[in-house]
Amino acid sequence: MSCLFCKIIAREIPSDIVFENDHALAFRDIHPAAPTHVLVIPKKHVHGIAEAEEGDVEALGQVLLAARAVAAREKLEGGFRLAINNGPDAGQTVFHLHVHVLGGRAMSWPPG
């Protein structure tokens, strides 16, 4: 298995896990871009949002619900942003679908 995030799910690579259920795992980003920066991933390997299929609907929905749970646990009452990068123009570097949960500071719009 060569996927970095699959290795994190398998505990082959350590991470600071903040939420886990049967469908999703959430852990702190190693290079935080905000006071709270958590990555939420489906336990099922999905390459990226552009490759997601009908059969991934459950995994995609569970990731969003897990992101909601993370935002509540991290007490992001002031708001938070969910981001999915896809492809080189968006700066995707890891090819296991992940939702960034960013919060703890004001977010500018549009993003850079």
What residues are annotated to the active site?
98
Q: Which of residues 35-54 bind ligand 5GP (CB under 6 A)?
A: 39
Q: Which residues of 29-65 are buried (b: 16+ CB within 10 A; e: fewer)?
A: beeeebebbbbbbbbbebebbeebeeebeebbebbee
Site string for ligand 5GP, 49-88 (x = CB under 6 A): ------------------------------------x---
Q: Following DSSP, what letter does each residue of 52-66 receive, concatenated?
A: --GGGHHHHHHHHHH
Closest to 75 in 3D by CA, of 41, 107, 39, 101 = 101
| Residue 94 in contact with Zn ion, rule: CB under 5 A | no
Distance of CA 44 to the CA centre of its chain: 13
Among ligand 5GP, Zn ion, none, residue 91 binds (CB under 5-8 Å by kind): ligand 5GP
Q: Which of residues 13-32 bind ligand 5GP (CB under 6 A)?
A: 13, 15, 27-31
Distance CA(22)–CA(81), nearest Å, equals 24
| Residue 93 in contact with ligand 5GP, rule: CB under 6 A | yes
Nearer to Zn ion, 3 or 69 (CB): 3
Number of residues that bind ligand 5GP (CB under 6 A): 14
| Residue 2 in contact with ligand 5GP, rule: CB under 6 A | no
